[in-house]
Chain A
Amino acid sequence: MSWDIRSFFIFCSLTAILILGSLTIFSVTSIDISYFLRFLLISIFSILIVTGVFYTVNLNRILSFGWVVLVLNILLILSVELFGKEINGSKRWLDFGFLSLQPSEFMKISFALFAIQYLRYFNFKFNFQRSIFLLAILFITSVPIIIQPDLGTGLIYIIFGIMLLFICGMDRKYFLALIGSGVVLSPVIYSFGFTDYQKGRIQSWFSSEGNISERWNILQSEISIGSGELFGEGFLKSKQNQFNFLPEADTDFIFSIYAEQFGFVGVLLIFILIAIFIILSIIVLLQEQSLSEDLSTYYLGAYFIFVIGFSFLINILMVSGMIPVVGLPLPFFTKGGSSLLCFSIMLGFIFSSRGFLRS
C-alpha cells in the first residue's frame, strides 16, 4: 500500500489538528498531563478502531443495520430521561463513569446510516414519497432531542439531516420549500419553542446594548481572541482562562482560548489545516465516486466532511461574535467524550471509503 501525496497531507493536517486540539484542552484544564494524553489517545484510538472495523467488516454489512442503529440511538436518548444526569437545566448526558455521553450527538451519524441504507435500496433515486418519508423520519426523530430540552442540538440535527438528503440528490425544490417554511415558522418557533435562556442568547447578539450578563460570553470571547494579537500569549498563558473570565472555556468557547495562546498566526494555521483536510478529502472522495458503482461510501463521506467543516465554521463564527451563540462543539477541540467519539467515528467512515483505503 503506497501513500499518495494527498493522503499524506490529509493525515498530517488531521494529526496537527488533533495535537493542537489536545494541547488546547490540556491548557484549559491544565491540571495534569494525563488529560492531554487521554484526549489524544481517545481520538487516535477511536479513529483507528473505527477505520479498522470498517476496513475489515464490509461496509454493506454495517449499512444494512442502519435502522437498528437509529432505533437504538433513540432508545438511548429516551433512557437519558430515566438515568441521565442534569447539567444546566437539561438532561442530556449518560454517565459511564470514565466518560459521560450525550446520545443526541450521535443522531447525526445514526440518521445518516439509516437514510443511506434506505436510499441505496432504491439506488439513490428520489421521488416524492421517499423524500417525504425521509423528511418525516428526520423530523420525528428530532422530537426526543428537542424535548430534552435541547433545541439547539435538535435544530442542528435537522439541518444536517436535510443537507445529507440534499447531498444524496434530493430535489432542490424540497430544499427550498423547507427553507421557506423554516423562515415562515421561525417566529412561531422563537416564541414557543425557545426558552428564555435561548432567547437571551439571541437577543444579546442582535442588540449592542443588551444586558451585560447576556453579552458577557461574547465580549469575553472577543477579549480572549483579541488579546492573542499576532503571535499569541504562548502556550499555557491564557489569562482569560486562568482567571475564569471566559465561561465555557473548555467547551463551546475553547477556540477563543486557542486564539489567545497562539494568536492570529495560530488561527490562520488552523484555518489552513482545516482547509487542507476538507479540500483534499473532497478530492479523494470525488475520485471514489468515479471508481465505485456503490455511492454509499461517497455520500456518507461527503456528508461527514460537511458536518465536520460546518461545525468548525459555525463554532468559529460564534466565538468571534459573528452569529448568536449556538451550542455547537468545535471538532477535536471541545472537551466532551460524545463529540470527540462522534467526530472520530465520522473520520473512520471517511477513511474507510475505498478512495482512501486504496492509497
Chain B
Amino acid sequence: MLSARFFSLQIIDGRVLKDQREKNINTFEYIYPKRGRIISSDNKVLVEDEKIFSVVINLEQKPSLESIKLLASIFYDQLELDEIEQTVKKSISSGNQEVVLDKLSQEDLSKFLVRNSELNGFSILETYRRVYDPHPSIFHVLGHLGYINDSDKRYFSERIDEYDPKLWQKVGKSGLERVYEKELTGTHGKRYFQRNARGTKKILTKEDEFIEGDDLYVSINYEAQKFAYDILDGRQGAIVVIDLNDFSIPVAVSAPSISANDLSGISSSRYAELLKDQSRPLFNRAFMGLYPPGSTIKPLLSIYSLDQKFTNWEETIFDDGFFRIDEQRVFNAWKEGGHGITDLDKALVESSNPFFMNLATRFEKQSLESFFSSASFGTKLCTDCYPHQFSPLINDAWKQKNFGRNLFKGDLINLGIGQGYLQITPLHLSLISAMVAKKGEYKTPFLSDSSSQENFTLSQNLESSDWERINKSLVDVIYSPSGTAYRVNAGELKMAGKSGTSQVVDIKSREEYESIRENPLLRDHAVFIGYAPYDEPRFAISVVIENGEGGGSVAGPVAREVLEVLLK
C-alpha cells in the first residue's frame, strides 16, 4: 500500500509535482527600462525620465538595530527611529522591499554611501521618475502616466501585440504618453532567479537585457505652444495650428491647463477638486471641445455652394438685416440695417447672415452630407491625438438618434450660419482652415507619426479661379476696412481668415443678448480661423475663446500673434 502511494506520487504525479516545485522556486522580476523622452520640433525636451535614488530595506540581510539607529542619525531631519522600525517590520512580514526614504538629494545620497558599509540591511534603489516641462501648455498634448487599471488593460490589449498587463505598471493615461506607450516604454528586461519560501534569499540565474524606450519627436513647437497658451492669459479656449507643409500640428493648446508634473503623486482629494473645477483644466478643449463654428463655417459652405452650383460670384441679394423664411419666421442678422446689396464676396468679407441663410434654403440634405463627410465630419481627424472627438456629421440619422426627427429646413438655415446643431472641435476648425488654404487638398493631421496619414479632396467642381476668389475674400476679411477682422491689424503678415461668434444660448434678438450678457458664462464664444501667408500658405490656425464675444476683435488678434511667432 505504501509503495503504491509512493508510486502514485513519484511516478504518476511526479512530473506535475516537480513542475509545481520549479514554479515555486523559480521566479522572475521585470526590469523597467528608462522611458523615452518626448522632444518638440524646436528640440526642447518636453518630458524625460530622471533617475531617483531611494533607501530601501535589503531583505537578504535584515537591518540590525545598530544600522537602524545609524540611519536615523544620518537622516535625523527626515526620519524618526520608530518610523524606520515600522517600515522594517512591515517589509520583513510582507516580504516586500519597502522604501524607507524616497527621492534622495545628491547630498543625501553621498551621506548614505559614505556610511554604506555600516548600514547593513539597507541599500539604495535606483528608479526613474517622469519629469515634465512645467509649462501647462503641454499637458494636454503629452498626457500623463498613472497606475494601470482595467480599462487601460482593455485599451492596450487591443493595440499592442505582445501585450502583457503584468509588465505595464504605470501607463500613459492620455495624450502622446498613451498613444506611443509601446514605443516610449521600450522593452522590459527580465531578471530570473531562484528564491526560497520566504523570499529572503535570491539567486540570480539569468537576465534578459532591457531596451530603453525610444525618444518621441513631436511636431509641437514648444516656443509657439507656450506663447499661444500664455497669450490666452487665463481665458478659457483653444488654439490649434496645422503646418500646411505636412499637416503636422505645431500648436495645440487648451486652456486652462495644469503642469503635467502636478498629476504624479496627486492626492485623490486634489484630483477630485480638479475634476470638479468649473473651468475644466483636465479637459482638452483643442481635441475634445465641441463649439458651434458660427460664421467661420461660411468659407466651407461657400465651397459647397459653388461646388453644387447653388450660387456663383455674380448673384446678389439685398440684405436688410433680416432673413424671412415666411411671415412668421423672421431671423435677426447681427448687423443692424444689414449689408445692403450683397454678393458672395461681400457676404464672406462682411459676414452677411441673410446671404448665407438664403443660400442655405437651397441646400440638399444628401449632397450636404457627402460634402461634410469629405470635410472629415463624423470621422477620426488625427492619427495620434488622444483623446479626440470627431465633429458630428449632421444628417437625418444624427437628428433621428438625438431628437427623434429628421432635419427641418430651418435646421439647414441655422447650419448656414454655423449655428444650431453644427458643432466642431478646434482641431477640426483648423483643418477646415487648412482645406481652404490648400484649395481643398488636405491630409490627416498628426503629432508625431505620419505613416497612416491619408489624402483627401474636398471638391472636384471648383475652378482654380473660385479658390482664388475665396482666398481673396478671406484676405479682405482682414485687410479691407469693411472686413469683420480688420481689427486684427495683420500688417505685413499676409494673413487670411474668417471670424465668427458662436452662440452659447439660443437668442432671437440683440436686446435679448444684451440682457443675458450680464452673465459672462452666457456670452458668445469668439471663434477665428485663418492661415498665412495668403499667397503661399504655411500655417492654418483656429482660435476659440470661450465667452470672448468678438471673433474678429478678440480671437483674430490672438491668431495673428501666434502665426507671427511661427513665421518669425
Residue A222 at the chain B interface, CB threshold 8 Å: yes
Q: Is the CB of A227 within 8 A of B18?
A: yes
Q: Which residues of B contact A259 (CB under 8 A)?
A: 6, 10
Residue A245 at the chain B interface, CB threshold 8 Å: yes
Q: A226-B9, A271-B2, A320-B5 are in contact. Are A245 and B14 (CB under 8 A)?
A: no
Sample (10) of A-B pairs whose CB atoms are under 8 Å apart: A222-B9, A223-B20, A225-B9, A226-B14, A229-B11, A240-B21, A243-B24, A264-B11, A313-B2, A320-B5
Task: State the Cβ distance, A315 to closest chain B Cβ, in Å.
Answer: 11
Task: State the Cβ distance, B193 to closest chain A Cβ, in Å.
Answer: 11
Q: Is the CB of A226 within 8 A of B13?
A: yes
Q: Which residues of A contact B17 (CB under 8 A)?
A: 222-223, 225-227
The total of chain B residues at the interface (CB under 8 A) is 25
* Distance of A317 Cα from B6 Cα, bound (Å): 10
Q: Flag the segment in B99-107, B194-202, B291-299, B407-415 that touches A.
A: B194-202
Task: State the Cβ distance, A227 to closest chain B Cβ, in Å.
Answer: 4
* Distance of A264 Cα from B18 Cα, bound (Å): 14
Q: Which residues of A contact B13 (CB under 8 A)?
A: 226
Q: A223-B24, A229-B11, A245-B21 are in contact. Are A267 and B197 (CB under 8 A)?
A: no
Q: Which residues of A contact B15 (CB under 8 A)?
A: 229
Residue B16 at the chain A interface, CB threshold 8 Å: yes
* Distance of A228 Cα from B7 Cα, bound (Å): 11
B187-216 toward A: CB 8 Å interface, digit per residue (1/0)? 000000011111001000000000000000
Q: Is the CB of A243 within 8 A of B196?
A: yes
Considering only residues 208-247 of chain A, those with a C-beta below 8 Å from chain B are 222-230, 239-240, 242-245
Q: A225-B6, A271-B2, A316-B2 are in contact. Are A239 and B25 (CB under 8 A)?
A: yes
Q: A226-B17, A245-B21, A322-B5 are in contact. Are A263 and B10 (CB under 8 A)?
A: yes
Question: Which of A224, A228, A317, A322: most chain B Cβ within 10 A?
Answer: A228
Question: Which of B6, B10, B201: most chain A Cβ within 10 A?
Answer: B10
* Distance of A267 Cα from B9 Cα, bound (Å): 11
Task: State the Cβ distance, A219 to closest chain B Cβ, in Å.
Answer: 9
Residue B3 at the chain A interface, CB threshold 8 Å: yes
Q: Is the CB of A228 within 8 A of B196?
A: no
Q: Is the CB of A227 within 8 A of B21?
A: yes
Q: Is the CB of B197 within 8 A of A229?
A: no
Instruction: Please provide the 6 A-B residue pairs with the shortest distance between their CB atoms, ordered closest to farther.
Output: A226-B17, A229-B14, A264-B10, A243-B196, A227-B18, A244-B196
Q: Which residues of A contact B194 (CB under 8 A)?
A: 239, 243
Interface residues of B (CB under 8 A from A): 2-3, 5-7, 9-11, 13-18, 20-22, 24-25, 194-198, 201
Q: Which residues of B contact A240 (CB under 8 A)?
A: 21
A257-282 toward B: CB 8 Å interface, digit per residue (1/0)? 00100011001100100000000000
Task: State the Cβ distance, B201 to closest chain A Cβ, in Å.
Answer: 7
Q: Is the CB of A267 within 8 A of B18?
A: no
Q: Which residues of B contact A243 (CB under 8 A)?
A: 24-25, 194-197, 201
Q: Which residues of B contact A227 (CB under 8 A)?
A: 14, 17-18, 21
Q: A264-B6, A322-B5 are in contact. Are A245 and B197 (CB under 8 A)?
A: yes
Cβ contact of B21, chosen from A223, A316, A322, cutoff 8 A: A223
Considering only residues 78-130 of chain A, those with a C-beta below 8 Å from chain B are none
A51-65 toward B: CB 8 Å interface, digit per residue (1/0)? 000000000000000
The total of chain A residues at the interface (CB under 8 A) is 26
Q: Which residues of A contact B14 (CB under 8 A)?
A: 226-230, 264
* Distance of A320 Cα from B9 Cα, bound (Å): 8
Q: Which residues of B contact A242 (CB under 8 A)?
A: 196
Chain B's closest residue to A232 (CB) is: B10
Q: A223-B20, A239-B21 are in contact. Are A230 and B2 (CB under 8 A)?
A: no
Q: Which residues of A contact B10 (CB under 8 A)?
A: 225-226, 228-230, 259, 263-264, 267
Q: A225-B17, A226-B13, A264-B10 are in contact. Are A245 and B24 (CB under 8 A)?
A: yes
Cβ contact of A245, chosen from B2, B6, B18, B25, cutoff 8 A: B25
Q: Is the CB of A226 within 8 A of B2?
A: no
Task: State the Cβ distance, B111 to closest chain A Cβ, in Å.
Answer: 36
Q: Which residues of A contact B24 (CB under 8 A)?
A: 223, 243, 245
* Distance of A243 Cα from B25 Cα, bound (Å): 7
Chain A's closest residue to B194 (CB) is: A243
Q: Is the CB of A320 within 8 A of B11?
A: no
Q: A223-B17, A230-B14, A239-B21 are in contact. Are A267 and B6 (CB under 8 A)?
A: yes
Q: Is the CB of B21 within 8 A of A224?
A: yes
Q: Which residues of B contact A271 (CB under 8 A)?
A: 2-3
Known A223-B20, A223-B24, A228-B14; 12 more pairs at CB < 8 Å: A226-B10, A226-B16, A227-B17, A229-B18, A239-B22, A239-B194, A243-B194, A243-B195, A264-B10, A268-B3, A271-B3, A320-B2
Question: Which of A230, A264, A317: most chain B Cβ within 10 A?
Answer: A264
Task: State the Cβ distance, A247 to closest chain B Cβ, in Å.
Answer: 8
Task: State the Cβ distance, B194 to closest chain A Cβ, in Å.
Answer: 6
Q: Which residues of A contact B20 (CB under 8 A)?
A: 223, 226
A298-324 toward B: CB 8 Å interface, digit per residue (1/0)? 000000000000000100110010100
* Distance of A316 Cα from B6 Cα, bound (Å): 10
Q: Which residues of B contact A316 (CB under 8 A)?
A: 2
* Distance of A224 Cα from B6 Cα, bound (Å): 11
Considering only residues 8-50 of chain A, those with a C-beta below 8 Å from chain B are none
* Distance of A273 Cα from B20 Cα, bound (Å): 31
